[in-house]
Structure 1
Amino acid sequence: MNSKIVLLVVVLVAAAGAAFVYQQRTTEEPKPEINQAAPQQQLQQPEISFQTLKLFPKTKVFSGYTLTDQHGQTFNQESFKGNWSVVFFGFTNCPDICPTTLLDMQKIHRSLSDDGIQPPRFVFVSVDSDRDSPENMKTYIDYFNSEFVGLSGDAGNILSLTTQLGVAYEVEPHETDAEFYNVDHSAALFLINPEAERAGIFTTPHDHKQITADLKSLLSQS
């Protein structure tokens, strides 16, 4: 008889404890939700799919150089600000890659303009500091598009800019007044954003139609 009473007491105590815990849990204030919508919102943002443009994971500021355009005006980091720019490095005595690439740039410029889209600034930078001056850069650039920017400068400033952007080039050793020597250089097109930061690259081989499509997508989102 006593054992039955003890068992009954144990059961009642256990039931009372369970009821107390349940009441505490149900009367607790609900915990605030931790920003559950933010990740979902990010996933809903449309991503641009490019055919040939490769955007760098992080943009890069480059500075500490001073060049001269084909009109004799100073061109530096501040000059890149305010517009998207597509930059190509070469030299005016280049027999094939440079004229071919500049023709592609002209086709891209015309196609964007015909579609009512403001083209980016197209910039041609000479890595041949001994032979290329603002005067012959103007003659060379005007043959393709007088709206393009042609930049030249001394070897130190050219090296500063190319090193920061990651442009590969090599000028064959020569006398200062030599007329004939080889210059090897990268044919990539570099994309600079309106904050004057390196943002992306169009690697070779170039397809002007694909580059045009990528720039349309990029500029439509800007």
Structure 2
Amino acid sequence: MKHFRLSLILIVAVILFSLSACSNVKKSGDKIEDFTFTDQSGKKFGLQDLKGKVWVAHFMFTSCTTVCPQLTKDMGDLQKAIKEKGYDDVNFVSFSVDPEIDTPVALKTYASHFEPDFSSWHLLTGYSQEKIEKFGMDNFKAWIKKPENDTQVVHDTKFFLFNKDGEVVKDYSTSNGFPLDEIVKDIKALR
């Protein structure tokens, strides 16, 4: 009887694990702090505007000479893929890590090269360097640092997926390429 019970528990555990593996999206419960910043149109935009929506975020800056153009292209590709699926309620947020340089006009000009739909993609600025560095660490566990006497900001290159409750449910490394299909699949599961 003892072996039967142990076998039954093991079988149930394997089934539950298999079912949970169907979708990698898990509710983490880590909510992002409330924020209101300025978007590429010079309008206030914040967490309240994202309430009840699935959204994806990342960090970038317009004078970046390394990864940011690719990250921004990836965000544009993701937005296009989501629109093709007909998911109208998904938003995209790019936080500038160089707010002193990245004015709303600079952000809009920069993003225009990636064919954005600004109705659902918001590039944010309007805070201090200290604020974005703290905001990134506190809410994303993302390291951001602008070295003195350097135009290049060191920052995290992950993409972050949020559910409709404003909770981070998953992050995606871009070190081995952009996981577009995985993010689209996970967004579908959250809708």
Q: Could you say which TM-score interval applies, normalised by the shorter chain?
A: 0.7 to 0.9
**Structure 1 residues 103 and 217: alpha-carbon distance in aligned structure 2, compared to 1, 3 A threshold:** same
**2:40 is aligned with 1:79:** no
Q: Deviations over 1:77-132 (max 9, x none)?
A: 22221211111102100113111111122222222322334473121110112211
2:79 alignment counterpart = 109
Q: Distance in 2 between matches of 1:86 and 1:56?
A: 15
Question: Which of 151, 161, 166 is 2:141 aligned to?
Answer: 166
Identify which of 62, 65, 70 aligns with 1:95: 65
Show the counterpart of 1:149.
122
**How many residues of Structure 1 are paired with residues of Structure 2 in the alignment?**
176
Report the RMSD for the aligned CA atoms in angstroms.
3.0
Whichever residue aligns with residue 116 of structure 1, its letter is G
- Report runs of 4+ in structure 1 exceeding 6 Å deviation: none
The aligned residue for residue 4 of structure 1 is: none
The match for 1:200 is 170
TM-score, with structure 1 as normaliser: 0.67
Larger Rg, first or second structure (1 or 2): 1
How far apart, in 2, do the equivalents of 1:70 and 1:101 lie? 17
* 1:83–1:193 contact (8 Å) kept in structure 2: yes
Q: Which amino acid aligns with 1:157?
A: K
- Counterpart of 1:185 in structure 2: which amino acid? H
The percentage of aligned residue pairs carrying the same residue is 24
The separation in 2 between residues aligned to 1:117 and 1:79, in whole angstroms, is 17
Gaps of 5+ in 2: 1-11
SS class of match (2:113): helix
Secondary structure, aligned partner of 1:58? coil
Unaligned runs of 5+ in 1: 1-39, 175-179
Q: Which amino acid in 2 is paired with 1:172?
A: P
Which one-letter code corresponds to 1:163 in the other structure? Answer: M
